[in-house]
Amino acid sequence: MRDYLKFYINGAWIDPVTPKTLDVTNPATEAVAGRISMGSAADVDAAVKAARAAFASYSQTSVAERVALLEAIINEYKKRYADMAAAITEEMGAPAVLSQKAQAAMGVGHLTTALNVLKDYRFSEQRGTTLLAKEPIGVCGLITPWNWPVNQIACKVAPALAVGCTMVLKPSELSPFSAQIWTEILHAAGVPAGVFNLVNGDGPTVGAALSSHPEVDLVSFTGSTRAGIEVARNAAPTVKRVHQELGGKSPNLILPDLDAAGFQKAVTAGVRGVMNNSGQSCNAPTRMLVPNSRMDEALAAAKAAAEATTVGAPDSGAALGPVISRNQWDKIEGLIAKGIEEGATVVAGGVGKPAGLDTGYYVKPTVLAGVNNQMTVAREEIFGPVLTILGYDTVDEAVAIANDTPYGLAAYVSGADAEATRKVASRLRAGQVNINSAAPDLMAPFGGFKQSGNGREWGEHAFGEFLEVKAVLGYAAKQA
């Protein structure tokens, strides 16, 4: 039983202004795994004031000092790696292997990427007699989700620290254990008091107070499009910068020129991409587009891949654990039922829990066929292990269907002809396009078009989110 009842403000663990606790549920067991304190606007104010006071000195630190700090954080993270993985498994129900090899690994990955970018980053350049200087934006409010908890913390905190910002983090109240360990890591690494602060709480209270606070210069939010709109509204009166990484309904185009083996491989990879992390990834390839002439082939491959996907307890060796909460389970089940009601055919999975898993928020790996792009399951982000398969007759039609969505976070395309596949990728309206199941790239910018948000995270592009550009005219004397 974890009791995390203090907030981290100005380099110390302190009690909340008003005591209020929340039980945190392990979604694999439905049992209470721990408690956290729930913050208030007064807690946020104290944290923001600490960050503001610390900004004066931390913003003036040298690159060498910040390099040393990131190196110290990485060293401390590695010491706590097993603790981090265990916390993510407990708070999310993520399979132990996924927590160890993917979830926890992303923390080290983003820290290391930020360190490497910082070493060579140009914070100023001279153009004629004018100096263009990139300076830290100030105090940052960071609001992170539950689905890839330390990934989203690290990809915001690491670049913010690297460029000289100070910050207040509000992690999801559904997955707060990893944020606690992250904070302990930063404290042990010697992050100066006030530079990083942690306040737990919910969106309507702590999130709103953080995004509306006049002393916060930037709010970086990852979560649903609905919540992102509220963050932007709260931020608008103070004209602060708002960075949003929001929802997705990513298309996955399987092109007709693939041979039988390549086609099966692409479909199988697409199914696995949806099922990973129990479908709880904003960039999951949830709309698979296949040629109508090869639909039977696609359905057979998708059915086999889905039915080969094991579901079970985090320590069972199963590929999928539960989804995060009863509310999410109800939403996913309702959308599967809605798809069937609107005419979709169940190829694999369907409503109800998998056999033998009555306790825990488990969902059957589900494939729905006979879907058109106007059905609810093709329009709304399900955020569970549910794939929809849509047919097309021409590549132009496939591209049109792919782009017919309010979202634009990611897109996927598989094809045999490299040039033709690249051309299709160039026509897809998404912030990140993956060709032929390419491996992740932590230096590639991550973010979306349209209602999937604005701004970019990961790698060098993340630095720009936390910087202001200052033009200093007359910095250099004119040449005689």
Stretch 345-353: mean pLDDT, rounded?
Answer: 98
At CA 334, angle to CA 176 and CA 152, rounded to 5? Answer: 25
pLDDT at 125: 96
Where does residue 235 rank: exposed (0-12), middle (13-18), buried (19+ CB within 10 A)?
buried
Q: H/E element holding 146? A: none
71 is catalytic: no
Give yes or no for a contact between 335 and 363, defined as CB atoms under 8 angstroms apart: no
The model's pLDDT over 301-341, given as tens digits with 9 standing for 90+, comes to 999 999 999 999 999 999 999 999 999 999 999 999 999 99
The domain segmentation of the chain, as residue ranges, is 2-246+449-472, 251-435
Catalytic residue, from 282, 333, 457, 465: name it. 282
CA nearest 274: which of 381, 376, 362? 381
Give yes or no for a contact between 434 and 411, defined as CB atoms under 8 angstroms apart: yes
Q: H/E element holding 388? A: strand 386-392
Question: What token pair was written down for 430?
Answer: 């998404």
Give yes or no for a contact between 289 and 253, defined as CB atoms under 8 angstroms apart: yes
At CA 7, angle to CA 324 and CA 187, rounded to 5? Answer: 100
Compute the distance between CA of residue 321 and CA of residue 312 in angstroms, rounded to an integer: 6
The model's pLDDT over 403-448, given as tens digits with 9 standing for 90+, comes to 999 999 999 999 999 999 999 999 999 999 999 999 999 999 999 9
Compute the distance between CA of residue 87 and CA of residue 2 in angstroms, rounded to an integer: 10
The model's pLDDT over 176-195, given as tens digits with 9 standing for 90+, comes to 999 999 999 999 999 999 99
The model's pLDDT over 116-134, given as tens digits with 9 standing for 90+, comes to 999 999 999 999 999 999 9
Compute the distance between CA of residue 422 and CA of residue 411 in angstroms, rounded to an integer: 12
Where does residue 22 rank: exposed (0-12), middle (13-18), buried (19+ CB within 10 A)?
middle
Catalytic residue, from 76, 90, 91, 245: name it. 245
pLDDT at 273: 98
Stretch 291-310: mean pLDDT, rounded?
Answer: 98
Q: Domain 2-246+449-472: which CATH class?
A: alpha beta
3-class secondary structure, 136: strand
Amino acid making up residue 206: V
The pLDDT-based confidence of 209 (bands split at 50, 70, 90) is very high
pLDDT at 244: 97
Compute the distance between CA of residue 207 and CA of residue 39 in angstroms, rounded to an integer: 10
Percent of the chain with pLDDT over 90: 99
Compute the distance between CA of residue 71 and CA of residue 283 in angstroms, rounded to an integer: 30
282 is catalytic: yes
The model's pLDDT over 367-396, given as tens digits with 9 standing for 90+, comes to 999 999 999 999 999 999 999 999 999 999
CA nearest 91: which of 83, 102, 101? 83
How far CA 251 is from CA of 70, 94, 115, 326, 434, in Å, comes to: 37, 25, 33, 27, 11
477 has pLDDT over 90: no
3-class secondary structure, 434: strand
Question: What token pair was written down for 304?
Answer: 């086999």
The model's pLDDT over 214-259, given as tens digits with 9 standing for 90+, comes to 999 999 999 999 999 999 999 999 999 999 999 999 999 999 999 9
pLDDT at 480: 60
Number of other residues whose CB lies within 10 A of the CB of residue 121? 16
Amino acid making up residue 224: S
The pLDDT-based confidence of 17 (bands split at 50, 70, 90) is very high
Stretch 5-17: mean pLDDT, rounded?
Answer: 98
Stretch 27-42: mean pLDDT, rounded?
Answer: 98
Stretch 190-206: mean pLDDT, rounded?
Answer: 98
Residues 231, 234, 235, 237: what is their CA dihedral angle, to the nearest 10 degrees?
160
Write down the CATH number for the domain with range 251-435. Answer: 3.40.309.10
Compute the distance between CA of residue 86 and CA of residue 353 in angstroms, rounded to an integer: 25
pLDDT at 478: 78
